[in-house]
């Protein structure tokens, strides 16, 4: 890459006003950033009306963004409007010198030099710094690094804080042997505390298959957590997996889901594992592969043995990156819903929702009731008047976050 010392401009029709076209150009002047005043900028007098190729010297112009201004004067002394164009001057070319220092700047060129790699082009370097920290006291310090290119232009100083700690010279205690499995427990959504989850049979080393009870877990998206304890009393890390609990109104042969409103069409979304022709409650894993950390919306529908698709259910959730790309899911609106012929009862953590709007409709979209659910209220009863077995669609929208939960419930 060559150093940009000049800029060449081709100027056409600079003096385009009708009052100036009849006159001849007398001069063109250029300047950067600040206007020195009419007639005081860099001037070009060998100019003409039909076109001008001008070379502007940038040798002394600083690295970075600038604005170039151009204007012309005719033989009557009249000036054109001042035109402008932004430009950026990049003076960082091949790096020839890198230095670093700690805490206090000894002056440019006076810090610790770094050995550069042997490569033809040094415009971009990846360095493994062998830092000499002898003489640094224990505690926090700051590392500073800067570089110089072959045109003697210095980069800005980059910095990073670090801590110097004393090496432990004491021989550590030998690690405790891993004990046998003593306890395996699981829970949904909220951690009840170590040892207070739902117990499973004591696992064996190797693979274990368990059937987990979710009969009292309401319909909708949930997070299943699992952990184990050994005979030394040591607990494993808590593993988590998102799942969805579904209670069909009839026989279900297919369930599918998608995220964030990206509906590919009925039968084309991500399919879930469904027990053959089931009419009982079941749970299935929800794959979050490919999703990034942050807010998301899960939508789900099912098809019965007659080929009819249900209405969509939707629930917001949040993915958190706990490090090294491992994502853990969290429900954002953990609402449970029950319905009778007279009322629809909604329950939630009092701190989990803001002021919300609740709407209850039939499966055909007929609106039955609407109600405000104030923030801090853990339960809400919405009056309805329907017969047993009626399918209700309940929508809860948090007015502050605009997160929306949609669930199907059957009046019992």
DSSP state of 30: E
| Three-state secondary-structure class, residue 399 | coil
- pLDDT value, residue 21: 43
> Which tokens belong to 169?
């010279």
Give the Cα separation of 223 and 240 in Å (integer): 7
Residues of the chain short of pLDDT 70, as ranges, are 1-23, 49-52, 59, 63-64, 88-93, 119-128, 165-179, 203-208, 247-250, 277-281, 321-327, 331, 350-352
Measuring CA to CA, which residue among 377, 373, 362, 364 is closest to residue 397? 373
| Residue 340: how many other CB atoms lie within 10 Å | 13
Note whether 395 and 356 are within 8 A (CB). Answer: no
- pLDDT value, residue 110: 92
End-to-end distance of the chain based on CA atoms, in angstroms?
77
- Is this structure's pTM higher than 0.85? no
- pLDDT value, residue 14: 45
In the sheet with 42-44, reading across from the earlier edge strand, the strands are 42-44, 25-32, 64-74, 83-89
- pLDDT value, residue 318: 78
Give the Cα separation of 240 and 327 in Å (integer): 9
> Which tokens belong to 228?
């184990």
In the sheet with 198-200, reading across from the earlier edge strand, the strands are 198-200, 181-188, 220-230, 239-246, 282-285
- pLDDT value, residue 7: 47
Structure-token match 């399919």, residue found: 271
- pLDDT value, residue 322: 60
Structure-token match 């490090």, residue found: 323
């Amino acid at each position: 890459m060559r150093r940009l010392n000049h800029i060449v401009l081709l100027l056409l029709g600079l003096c385009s006003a009708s009052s100036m076209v009849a006159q001849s150009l007398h001069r063109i002047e250029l300047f950067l950033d600040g206007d020195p005043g009419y007639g005081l900028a860099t001037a070009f007098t060998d100019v003409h009306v039909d076109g001008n190729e001008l070379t502007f010297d940038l040798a002394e112009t600083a690295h970075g963004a600038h604005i170039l201004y151009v204007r012309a004067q005719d033989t009557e002394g009249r000036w054109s409007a001042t035109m402008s164009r932004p430009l950026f001057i990049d003076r960082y070319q091949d790096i020839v010198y890198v230095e670093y220092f700690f805490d206090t700047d000894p002056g440019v060129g006076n810090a610790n030099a770094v050995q550069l790699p042997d490569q033809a082009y040094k415009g971009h370097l990846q360095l493994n710094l062998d830092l000499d920290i002898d003489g640094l006291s224990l505690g926090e310090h700051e590392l500073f690094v800067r570089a110089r290119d072959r045109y003697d232009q210095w980069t800005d100083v980059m910095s990073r804080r670090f801590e110097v700690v004393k090496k432990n010279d004491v021989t550590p205690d030998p690690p405790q042997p891993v004990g046998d499995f003593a306890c395996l427990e699981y829970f949904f959504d909220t951690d009840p505390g170590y040892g207070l989850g739902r117990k499973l049979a004591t696992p064996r080393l190797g693979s274990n298959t368990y059937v987990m009870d979710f009969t009292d877990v309401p319909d909708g998206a949930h997070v299943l957590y699992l952990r184990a304890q050994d005979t030394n009393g040591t607990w494993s890390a808590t593993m988590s997996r998102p799942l969805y609990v579904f209670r069909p109104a009839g026989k279900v042969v297919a369930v599918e889901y998608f995220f964030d409103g990206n509906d590919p069409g009925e039968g084309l979304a991500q399919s879930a594992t469904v027990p053959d022709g089931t009419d009982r409650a079941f749970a299935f894993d929800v794959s979050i592969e490919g999703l990034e950390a942050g807010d998301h919306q899960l939508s789900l529908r099912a098809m019965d043995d007659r080929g009819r698709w249900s209405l969509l259910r939707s629930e917001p959730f949040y993915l958190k990156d706990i490090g090294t790309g491992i994502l853990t899911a969290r429900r954002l609106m953990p609402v449970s819903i029950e319905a009778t012929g007279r009322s629809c009862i909604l329950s939630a953590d009092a701190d989990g929702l803001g002021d919300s709007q609740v709407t209850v409709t039939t499966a055909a979209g007929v609106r039955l009731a609407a109600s405000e659910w104030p923030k801090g209220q853990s339960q809400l009863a919405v009056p309805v008047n329907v017969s047993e077995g009626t399918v209700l669609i309940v929508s809860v929208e948090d007015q502050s976050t605009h997160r929306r939960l949609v669930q199907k419930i059957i009046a019992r």
